[in-house]
Chain A
């Protein structure tokens, strides 16, 4: 079992739809949870960052972490064509030497 599993894609939705992206993980030491957005031929860009369990909202984006289920989600409300990108979940444990482990990524396409 991989440390981080991400729902396979690709995913195509109409403009205005609510999008749900999910990852599961196996390492109970993970405490920091991140979502990155990666446009074609660009480096990943940090989108959301959460410590431990709970929700975090930033505009149209909401990140949820459920540590009891080892499950994290990213919700995108009122999706726009500009949201079309690859979304990567990433997580790490606490400590200066902890490494950031990524999911495989899911490609989202928002149709006008």
Chain B
């Protein structure tokens, strides 16, 4: 079974630029999560999708972050404009029925300079 795929693995941008991350979840998983993990901290949920509907985006900075899940499968997370404090690893995860075990991708390491 293929895992959660994310791209790119690394990205360096200047502040005020925009950036987009892509995620392909495990086939058949209805729930998709985007987490932000700052160095030395646990992952923080940014947004949770159930199929293509948003379940929780309470911690998503909506003035600069946006996310969509196309046809309930792939998802993109965008930051525009980026700030220095957005430097982090962005993790995508998915889970199947019952929303219990979440499986993570390798993450995208973003550096904003």
Give A contacts to B, CB under 8 Å: 4, 6, 32, 34, 36, 41-46, 49, 51, 88, 90, 92, 95-105
Is there contact, CB below 8 Å, between A49 and B42?
Answer: no
**Interface, chain B (partner A; CB < 8 A):** 4, 6, 31, 33, 35, 40-45, 48, 50, 55-56, 91, 93, 98-107, 109
23 contacts between A and B (CB under 8 A): A41-B109, A42-B106, A42-B107, A43-B91, A43-B104, A43-B105, A43-B106, A43-B107, A44-B43, A46-B101, A46-B103, A49-B100, A95-B99, A96-B50, A96-B99, A97-B48, A97-B50, A99-B55, A100-B93, A100-B102, A102-B44, A103-B42, A104-B40
- A105 CB to closest chain B CB, in angstroms? 5
Task: List chain A residues, Cβ under 8 A from B99.
Answer: 92, 95-98
On chain B, the residues within 8 Å of A100 by CB distance are 33, 45, 93, 102
Q: How far is the CB of A63 from chain B (nearest CB, A)?
A: 13
Are A102's CB and B42's CB within 8 A? yes
Scoring A34, A43, A44 by chain B CB atoms within 10 A of each residue's CB, the highest score goes to A43
Neighbour of A6 across the interface among B6, B42, B55, B91, CB < 8 A:
B42
Most buried by A among B43, B91, B104: B43
Could you list 4 further interchain pairs (A-B, Cβ under 8 angstroms) beyond the known A43-B4, A96-B55, A100-B93? A44-B104, A97-B56, A99-B48, A104-B42
10 smallest CB-CB distances across A and B, nearest first, come from: A102-B42, A43-B104, A97-B55, A104-B42, A44-B104, A43-B106, A43-B107, A105-B42, A102-B43, A32-B100
A88 contacts B42, CB within 8 Å? yes
Q: Nearest chain-A residue to B41 (Cβ)?
A: A104
Chain A residue nearest to B47 in the complex (CB): A99
| Chain A residues with CB below 8 A from B40, complex form | 104-105
Instruction: Give the chain A neighbours of B103 by CB distance below 8 A.
Output: 46
**With A and B bound together, what is the CA distance between A92 and B96 in angstroms?**
14
- How long is the Cα–Cα vector from A36 to B103 in the complex, in angstroms? 10
B43 with A92: CB separation less than 8 A: no
How far apart sit A64 and B55, CA to CA, in the bound complex (Å)?
30
Which of the residues A34, A88, A95, A99 comes within 8 Å of B101, measured between beta carbons?
Answer: A34
